[in-house]
Amino acid sequence: MARILITSALPYINGIKHLGNLVGSMLPADVYARFKRQQGHETLFICATDEHGTPAELAARAAGQDVAAYCREQYEIQKDAGDRFGLSFDHFGRSSNPPNHRLTQHFAHVLEENGLIEERLDHQVYSVDDERFLPDRYVEGTCPHCGYEKARGDQCDSCGRLLDPVDLIDPYSAISGSKNVEVRETKHLYLLQAQMQDRIADWVASKKDWPQLTKSIAGKWLKEGLRDRSITRDLKWGIPVAYEGEARPGFENKVFYVWFDAPIEYIGATEEWAQKTGGDWESWWRTDKGAGDVSYVQFMGKDNVAFHTVSFPATILGSEEPWKTVDALKSLNWLTWYGGKFSTSQNRGIFMDQALELLPADYWRWHLMANAPESDDASFTLEHFASVVNKDLADVLGNFVNRITRFCKARFGEEVPAEGAYGEAEAALEKELDAKIKSYTDNLELMEFRKAFVDLRAIWVAGNEYLQIAAPWTAIKEDREKAAASVRCALNLIVLFAALSRPVIPFTADKMFAIFGLDPEEASRWPSSAGEALSRFKGGESFTPPDVLFAKIEEDQVAAWRDQFGAE
């Protein structure tokens, strides 16, 4: 069995995440991790909150809290939401924890020793009224490229261009709104990415199996030429610019840039996991300590790809130390809300905690993954959500489970019938399922989630079609044994469906296993063949018909939700 390390892009600390954030990285990573565990692979799924940088300070200020206390509170909120959504992280850490401090300072030290970090005199926006330098998002103004009037100092949300605060037209302080700002000199450390151009290009070129979206974003940055990047900021909250506990002279009031320290937290969170469990974090990250046989898979939205195909690799490779680099990088496009952006301030869209107040997690998990924004951006609408849930989960899967368990209870009792032998219909079903399971498994291996869940739905449909052909409710009138065999086959299908569905709808899968009193961990082993699965129950095994697995979403619910969440 393989060793598989999976990391999801770190959710930023300022506020609960919306459905687009969820499907952009954490949820597909969870589906893949669950799939790999069911196959029997040694799998480590790591994530953490990204807690440093300007947005954390601004959000804490707006909440009237100390930034450290704000981050502690928000971490617990995000962790709880992830748990309730079934995100099966082996560890969900914090980038503000000590391992990330130590590792970030270590990487900066070795990069400087290798000639890849230098101190430069920089020009930065200074707020006279606030009496401080304004890094990145502390500065807002008009984008010089598209004219958007609320561009941030690091990036324009309208055209997507990366910016430097000094580029903004009519800049002002995001702290006070003051336009009494000027450009002053200050010192910063720069990561000399330009020196790594050829090495990064060769490394990216070696990743033949990366998705086209990932390759195109990396290629665009490489074609434009890598630029040296400042890795320090004039902030109080963050990782101090220090080596082995000694502050760098002249940098006492500066911290490392969040985009320098955040990816390093993948390693830091793994060390946190090891401290909690007694595991060996180095065997997952150091190729001289056993990580050479690890397959490392990253998941992220397209806006994070450049940092993970250029900046983080420059840090890892530039260290000249034997660190594990990513093998597969699954990138996704954006999920939009009725074609526009999710927005907390404008009450547009559904966020993770709100979603769980409306419906159980599996409703959302299924719709988001069956319609994952892989080839292009995808628009979430409540109407489409309701349609997919009703047709797929209620009418196909839920109807199958409830229909056969109730029929069996009524005609054979609450035990799997042992009478009769499988015939031509069951043989044909087995052959069909083997082909569909292979396609489903192959697409999950490739992380082609939309294709995979088309396959899974087709597997559910095959069960319903088999019931229509076998028609035990008709057969029992003339051939009880034939009816009994088809009922036994259908009850076995429930367990097969549960195992195959568990990566995406784990809570429902476990309810399906509970019908027969099965241990989910044992019963969810990835099926080697349909034939083996269909012969699990021989007869005599007891079961309890479940409540309705999925309630249909009604039109009046959709209408109320449209008003509540600003659907346009």
Long-range contact pairs involving 385-390 (C-beta distance under 8 Å, separation at least 24): 385/553, 386/553, 386/555, 386/557, 386/558, 389/359, 389/363, 389/550, 389/552, 389/553, 390/552, 390/553
- Residues belonging to the binding site for Zn(2+) are 143, 146, 156, 159
The vertex-16 CA angle with 12 and 19, nearest 5°, equals 95
Helices marked H in 446-505 — which ranges?
Answer: 449-470, 472-475, 480-501
Binding site members for ATP: 344
Pairing status of strand 132-133 against strand 117-127: antiparallel
- Cα–Cα distance for residue pair 530/422, rounded to 1 Å: 13
CA 56 to chain CA mean position, Å: 21
- Helix axes of 361-370 and 449-470: crossing angle, nearest 10 degrees: 110
| 449 to 42, 367, 430: CA distances (angstroms) | 21, 11, 24
Q: For residue 211, how far is the Cα from the chain centroid?
A: 16
Looking at residue 195, its amino acid is Q
DSSP annotation of 488: H
Tokens (6 digits) for 323: 């660190």
CB 104 within 8 A of CB 242: no
- Cβ-Cβ contacts under 8 Å for 61 (sequence gap 6 or more): 67, 175
List binding-site positions: 143, 146, 156, 159, 344
